[in-house]
Structure 1
Amino acid sequence: MAIERRPFQGVLNILSFNRHFYVIGLLVLAGIIAAGFIFHVNHLYLLIIVIAFIYGLFAPLIVSAYVYDFSGYYTFNWLHKLALNPKANHIVNINAGFDETSFILEDHFPDAKIRVFDFYNASQHTEPAIVRARKVSLTYPDTQVIESGNIPVSDQSADLVFLLSAAHEIRSNQEKVVFLKECRRICKPGGKVIMVEHLRDFPNFIAFTIGFTHFFSAPTWRKAFTQAGFSKIDETKFTPFMSVFTITP
């Protein structure tokens, strides 16, 4: 089932899911400008503050448009560079309550059995953006809601396990390690876990300013993979703002 994406769907999703942030931000910006004129703040200083504020609001949208709407992320052609098993017959795709990838995976692996799991926990994953995203997400048939520490799949049965822009929603390092141990448990000896994430690094700081703290650094992820028992960790860049980790049990 091919899902046709609308023009600028990625950036429109960001705006929709984070509208509280932008409404508050624009109100604060208006307040700063008003206060600057009321208290006769030096116009150069005021201009610098306003430009910095506008940058913080709109740079994430520009980068999101690039990554999600113009880079080819949702065509999944970047998968071809990973030398994955073309005959994979058991694929697991795990999301955090917002799934835009399972139907695309189905198109790329038409002969595979795809099982989809959602580890969203309303008591732990409370960000308004996730709550709104879940309301509009198109649910893949037979998607199961699970605990992050318990993936109901047999040991060493999955050829590929996909974690696409989802794993960072697990904020606790202990929970991350337990989750990754589960991913390793279900993965065949010759299988792979494919994780795509923004990182807490300089390019994402330039893109998202303080918002880059929502992501984790590459050393943090590598440490978690190692603690989970993975033997090989490869990282490639998909745009300067996203990393593709290919992890082998």
Structure 2
Amino acid sequence: MKITKLVILFNYQKILLGIIVSIVLFGLSFFINSSLIVLLFRILGVLIILNIIASLVASYILYDNSDLYELNNLKGVVDWNKTENVVLVHASFDPLSKSLEEKYPNLNLTVCDIFGNRHEQEKGIETSKKIFPPNPKEIKIKPHQLPFDNRSQDVILAITALHEILDHDQRVLFFKEAKRVLRDDSLIIVSEQFRDFTNFVFFNIGAFHFLSKKQWKKAISEAGLEIAENKKITPFANMLIVKK
């Protein structure tokens, strides 16, 4: 429940607003004579509450009860015991690097925080860093300038991070840089929620926070890379295996 609690913390204002609006709609319905409007107000109030509950349940399934941060989906794709240099990219929220280092002490892991991402301004970011302290070796990066030598890295991991690169051209530049620093036959692992029907149902307008599958394919292909595989982690998130 750790990450779901953080989701609530980051979105408590929206959740509170939804509850207040729902209560107001129910309250107003008792002072309206039109049975149709009463019904509409009450249905709308119920839908708002149901949407809040659904989004929290979906968040729990995605963040606390799935393979998102376990990376078991990569069995047969990445042999961590034979992998040397790994880059982990996040957006001011890193629940993964510690467990990776504990499981695979042989990894030369570089943890990178995307400089200037939206989460840096979130009120709850300090709390999240208490729950998941930043890696002491963490460095700040700009998407268009990765501080690594050509063909020096084996895997780049970006778990729910790259959608924080808001500009399409900057995303393309990131993938071009990733291509530059990766060795031949190396991988970029991108795990993200898509702006799709399922996420609209459960997260409503929150789905606009994410990119569509088409947008990801466009950015990756423009960088001269290809999606070798698209794995479904949960109904709400996909893992893209990207190759040179």
Task: State if a TM-score over 0.5 links the two structures.
Answer: yes
Q: 1:147 to 1:160 in 2, by over 3 A?
A: same
Q: Give the percent of matched residue pairs that are identical in Structure 1 and Structure 2.
A: 27
Q: Encode CA deviations 1:91-115: one digit per residue, 9 max, x unaligned.
A: 0001111111111221333201100
CA contact under 8 A between 2:81 and 2:106: conserved in structure 1? Answer: no
Q: 1:133 to 1:244 in 2, by over 3 A?
A: same
1:226 corresponds in structure 2 to 221
1:119 corresponds in structure 2 to 114
Give the deviation of 1:73 after TM superposition: 3.0
Which shows bigger deviation, 236-245 or 80-89?
A: 80-89
Which shows bigger deviation, 94-103 or 31-40?
A: 31-40
What RMSD in Å do the two structures reach over aligned CA positions?
A: 2.0
Give the deviation of 1:149 after TM superposition: 1.3
Structure 1: stretches of 5+ with no match in the other structure: 1-7
CA contact under 8 A between 1:195 and 1:245: conserved in structure 2? Answer: yes
Counterpart of 1:136, as a letter, is S
What is the CA–CA distance in structure 1 between the aligned matches of 2:76 and 2:197, rounded to whole Å? Answer: 25
2:54 corresponds in structure 1 to 59
SS at match of 2:118: coil
Structure 2: stretches of 5+ with no match in the other structure: none
Which among 84, 92, 98 is matched to residue 97 of structure 1?
92
1:215 corresponds in structure 2 to 210
Counterpart of 1:15, as a letter, is I
CA contact under 8 A between 2:148 and 2:181: conserved in structure 1? Answer: yes
Within-5 A mapping of 1:1-249: 8-40=1-33, 42=35, 43-84=38-79, 86-121=81-116, 125=118, 130-137=122-129, 138-249=133-244
- TM-score, scaled to structure 2: 0.90
What is the CA–CA distance in structure 2 between the aligned matches of 1:140 and 1:127, rounded to whole Å? Answer: 16
Which shows bigger deviation, 189-198 or 174-183?
A: 174-183
What is the CA–CA distance in structure 2 between the aligned matches of 1:140 and 1:85, rounded to whole Å? Answer: 19
CA contact under 8 A between 2:198 and 2:236: conserved in structure 1? Answer: yes
Q: Encode CA deviations 1:74-106: one digit per residue, 9 max, x unaligned.
A: 333222153446411100001111111111221
Counterpart of 2:7, as a letter, is I
Q: Encode CA deviations 1:107-137: one digit per residue, 9 max, x unaligned.
A: 333201100111130xx62686x45235532
Which shows bigger deviation, 147-156 or 22-31?
A: 22-31
Aligned length: 239
Runs of 4 or more above 6 Å deviation: none
CA contact under 8 A between 1:149 and 1:178: conserved in structure 2? Answer: yes
CA contact under 8 A between 1:10 and 1:68: conserved in structure 2? Answer: yes
Counterpart of 1:17, as a letter, is F
SS at match of 1:195: strand
What is the CA–CA distance in structure 1 between the aligned matches of 2:25 and 2:124, rounded to whole Å? Answer: 29
